[in-house]
Homo-oligomer: A and B are copies of this chain.
Amino acid sequence: MGSTTDHAFNVYRGTFIQLSRLPASGSKPELCRDKGALWVSTADGRIKGWDWKAHDDNGFEDLMTRSRWVDLDDVEATDVKFHSAKTKVKVIRADEERNEFFFPGFIDTHIHAPQYPNAGLFGSSTLLDWLETYTFPVESGFGAQPDPKAGLQTQTKPNDTPISGQNIYNQVIARTLSHGTTCASYFATIHIPATNALAALCHARGQRAFIGRVCMDNPKFCPKYYRDLSPDDSVAATRETIKFVHELDPSGQLVRPIVTPRFAPTCSEAALQGLGKLAAEFDPPLHIQTHISENRNEVDLVKELFPEADSYTGVYEKHNLLTPRTILAHAVHLTPEERKLVRARDSKISHCPASNSALGSGICPVRTFIDEGITVGLGTDVSGGYSPSILEAARQACLVSRLLGHTAQWKEDHPCVDKKDEGREKISVAESLYLATRGGAAVVDMAQDIGGFDMEMLWDVQLIQLGGVKGTEQGPLGSVCNGVKDNVNAGPVGNVDLFGTETWEEKIEKWVWSGDDRNVKAVWVGGRLVHTRG
C-alpha cells in the first residue's frame, strides 16, 4: 500500500488456513492448514515468503536470526545501535490457545450498497414487484431526480450526495468489513455524486472495491422518478464516474470502476451497446457487471422486451457485454445453450443463494456450472439478500445445494442418477469457502492477487477467533442455582462453541455453520489494518 512505516515487513505468526488452488478443473477444493510465519512487505502489501519450520519459538528465532530481522516491539532505545545492521519487522500473532487463525478475506462479487437500509425488508415479494416496491424508492434517495430539461447530470462531486446516503454507504462498508469482506463489487445508484462518494469512502476506509454506477434508461420498465434520461446519458454519466475513480486511484490499486447495466429489462438496446463499447475502450477492458436469469417472470419479460434475441444471455452477447471480466449475478434459470455461451466467453457467475431463497427466485445449479468449467463466486446481493455477510452466503450455498435435488428443474435435467453421483450437487463447507475466496477472486479477475496465501498475493486477510466452552471440572450439577450467570457470558466469542474434541477441519465446519462477525477479530486489505472487532 506504500504507506509510510518504520519497518520492512509485517510477520504474521500462527495458523494459516486457506483453500488450495485447484490442481485441475473438476477436482474438489480442499482446506489446507499451515503453521509458522509468513511475511508481508509494508511497501506493497504483498506476501514475500513464509517459513513453516517457524511453527514454534525455536523455529521462529531461527527465522529471525537467519533473516537478520529484529522485532519492533523488542527494540529498546539503547538497542538501536546494536540492531542497526538489522531489518525491523512487526510481529502479529494468531493465538492458538484462543482458536485463532488467519484466513483469506471474503470477496463479495455482488452487492447493492444503497439498498442496505432495506436489508430484511421484502415481505413475500418476488423480483419484479420487489424492485418497484422496495428498491427503486430507496435508491432514488441518493441524489436529485434527473431533470429532463437539464440534459445530462451536471453534479459530480461526492459531497453533493445527501448526508443520509453518505451515512448508509459508510455503514455498509463498515459492516461488510466487519464480516471479513476485503473486496466487494458494488452496484451504486444512477447518481454520479453518490457513485463517486461510494468510491471515495471505500478508498478512505481501505476496502478493495469495484464501483458501478447503475445504468437504467428504459422507460418501458424504469420508473419515471428514477432512470437515466437517455442511452447517451447512461454512457456519459458512467464515463464521469469512471473518470472520477481513475483520478482517485490511478493505478487501480484499491478501487476500480465497473460498467454496470442494471439488467436487460432496464436498458435500451442503444444503452447496452454504448456500455459494451465503453468497457472495451479501456486497456485492459473495464470490468462489467449485471444481473441474469434470476427469476422466471424476469426471463419471460426479457423475451417480451427483446423478441429478436435468442435468449437472455444472447441479449448481453449481442452488445459485447459478455467478456472474461463480466460478472453475471444469479444465473438461476440459464438454459444449457446459455451456459455454453457463458463458458465460451469466460464470463463469471455470482451465486447469491440468500437472495435467491428470500425472493423465491429458485436454486442456482452451482455444481452444473462448476462441472462445465464456469467460474463461480459468492454474492450477498444486499438487499435481495438480507445479510451483508459472505459467511452467511457460504452457509446458504451449502443449504440450498442440499435442496437442489428436490427441485422439479433438477429432476427434469437429471432423470436418471447413477448411485455414485447421488448427492454430487451438494456444496461442501470447503467448497463454499473456496467460492467465497479463490472463486470470488477469479470472478473479479484477480485470481493471481487475492483469495489465498500464494507468493506475491496481496495481504487481504481476516483473523478469525473461535470460542471455547469452559466446562467446570466438577460438573455444573449442584453448583448451578442461578440461571443468570452462565458459561456463555463468561466464555466464547460469538456462537461457535468448541468443546475441545473437534479436529481442525471440524472447527472450520462449525465456523461456517455458526459463525458471525464476532469471530472476525481483525481485517487487513493490501496489508493495511482496516477493521478490528470492537
* Contact flag A483-B177 (CB < 8 Å), given A407-B408, A514-B119: yes
- Number of copies of this protein chain within its complex: 2
Residue A474 at the chain B interface, CB threshold 8 Å: yes
Q: Mark A156-170, 1 if CB is under 8 A from B, else 0.
A: 001101011011111
B360 x A480 contact (CB < 8 A)? no
Least Cβ–Cβ distance between A493 and chain B, in angstroms: 11
CB distance from A358 to the nearest CB of B (A): 6
> Which residues on B sit within 8 Å (CB–CB) of A480?
170, 201, 204-205
Closest to A508 in B: B120
Q: Is the CB of A402 within 8 A of B166?
A: no
Q: What interface size band does chain A fall in?
A: 35 or more
User: A227 within 8 Å of B by Cβ?
Assistant: no
Q: Which residues of B contact A528 (CB under 8 A)?
A: 483
Q: Which of A503-528 contact B (CB under 8 A)?
A: 506, 509-514, 516-517, 528
Which single residue of chain B is at the shortest CB-CB distance from A387?
B514
* B166 in contact with A476 (CB, 8 Å): yes
Given the interface contacts A167-B472, A406-B409, A487-B170, does A501 sit within 8 Å of B201 by beta carbon? no
Asked if B426 contacts A124 (CB within 8 A), the reply is yes
| A116–B497 CB distance below 8 A | yes
A158-B477 contact, Cβ under 8 Å, with A400-B357, A487-B171, A531-B483: yes
A119 contact set on B, CB distance < 8 A: 497, 510, 513-514
Are A475's CB and B405's CB within 8 A? no
Residues in B neighbouring A407, C-beta threshold 8 A = 403, 406-408
A284 interface residue (CB < 8 Å to B): no
Asked whether B473 lies within 8 Å of A495 as measured between CB atoms, the reply is no
- Given the contacts A407-B407, A529-B484, A402 and B513 also touching, CB distance less than 8 Å: no
Given contacts A175-B488, A513-B120, A531-B483, contact A167 B200 (CB under 8 A): no
A207: chain B residues within 8 A (beta carbon): 483
Q: How far is the CB of A200 from chain B (nearest CB, A)?
A: 6
A206 within 8 A of B: yes
The CB with the most chain B CB atoms within 10 A, among A117, A481, A501, A502, is that of A117
- Decide if A163 touches B471 in the complex (CB within 8 Å): yes
Asked if A123 is at the interface of the complex by the 8 Å CB criterion, the answer is yes
Interface residues as binary, A455-488 with B (CB distance below 8 Å gives 1, 0 otherwise):
0000000000000010111111110110110111
Which B residue's beta carbon lies closest to that of A388?
B495
Residue A428 at the B interface, CB < 8 A? yes
Question: For residue A398, which residues in chain B have a CB less than 8 angstroms away from its CB?
Answer: 358
Q: How far is the CB of A83 from chain B (nearest CB, A)?
A: 29
Chain B residue nearest to A410 (CB atoms) is B408
Q: Does A490 contact B (CB under 8 A)?
A: yes
Provide the A168-188 mask, 1 if CB < 8 A to any CB of B, else 0. 111100110110000000000
Of the candidates B163, B197, B428, B530, which one forms a contact with A123 in the assembled complex, judged by CB atoms under 8 Å apart?
B428
Query: Digit string of A389-426 for contact with B (CB within 8 Å is 1, else 0)?
Result: 10000000011101101111101000000000001001
- A499: Cβ under 8 A from any B Cβ: yes
Question: Is B360 a contact partner of A124 (Cβ separation < 8 A)?
Answer: no
Task: Jot down 26 A-B pairs with beta carbons below 8 A, ordered by A.
Answer: A117-B497, A119-B514, A120-B509, A120-B511, A121-B510, A123-B428, A124-B428, A161-B475, A166-B477, A167-B475, A171-B488, A175-B488, A204-B481, A204-B483, A357-B399, A358-B398, A358-B402, A360-B405, A360-B423, A387-B513, A387-B514, A403-B403, A406-B409, A408-B411, A483-B528, A495-B517
CB-CB nearest 9 A-B residue pairs:
A489-B534, A120-B513, A167-B471, A360-B402, A205-B483, A170-B476, A174-B486, A386-B513, A483-B530
Given pairs A124-B428, A387-B513, A389-B495, 14 additional interface contacts (CB within 8 A): A117-B501, A123-B429, A158-B477, A159-B478, A167-B469, A167-B476, A167-B499, A168-B499, A170-B476, A177-B486, A205-B483, A360-B423, A360-B426, A408-B408
